[in-house]
Amino acid sequence: MKAGMIEHWGMVQHVDAGRATVVVERTACGVCGHGGHCGMSKHAVGGQAAVLNLPAPSGLQAGDFVNVGLPEAKLTLAALLGYLFPALATLAGALIGISAGGTEATTALGAAAGFAGSLVVARFAITFTPGLSPRPQLLPSSFSSANFSQE
């Protein structure tokens, strides 16, 4: 395991045009506690086993076992942008509403504007900042076929 990486192992189903289809057991998506909120889960499709379509390194073949990794630092930064920033913007908006009029309506309107504004800023930041949104990547693995169950 690499330091600073969240890793799950999987098996390459097939490689086509520089992209690998990798099957990862779905149980891996509940182990770390991030559930459906991490990049691994966003790219996964399926039920018992998740199917990921990722860029394939040269020499990768169907049947190879790989680690699918997600950088922890980028996940933490994305979580801060997705959770902490909207909360702080909501509070800032509420404070602006209090200072603007001091009524409950202006406070609520300021809080709502701060929250909505934070979502727009976060969306643009994730879209236009390279590497901010973590994406799974394939890592070499030494797993054997005995470690992987296909259903």
**One domain, residues 13 and 40:** yes
**One domain, residues 108 and 141:** no
Residues 93-118 have a mean pLDDT of: 95
Residues 91-96 have a mean pLDDT of: 96
For the chain, the maximum distance between any two Cα atoms, rounded to a whole number of angstroms, is 67
**One domain, residues 116 and 88:** yes
pTM for the model stands at 0.54
> Mean pLDDT score of the chain, rounded to an integer?
78
**One domain, residues 12 and 35:** yes
pLDDT at 139 over 60: yes
**One domain, residues 85 and 141:** no
Quote the CA–CA distance of 9 and 23 in Å, as a whole number: 9
CB 61 within 8 A of CB 12: yes
Q: Which residues make Cβ contacts (< 8 Å) with residue 70, sequence separation at least 6?
A: 5, 6, 7, 38, 39, 40, 134, 135, 136, 137
Which pLDDT band, with edges at 50, 70 and 90, does 31 fall under?
low
- pLDDT of res. 151: 47
Quote the CA–CA distance of 118 and 120 in Å, as a whole number: 5
Q: How many domains does the chain have?
A: 2
Range name among 2-6, 10-14, 32-36, 75-79 with the lowest pLDDT average: 32-36
* Domain of residue 113, residue span: 75-128
**One domain, residues 56 and 15:** yes
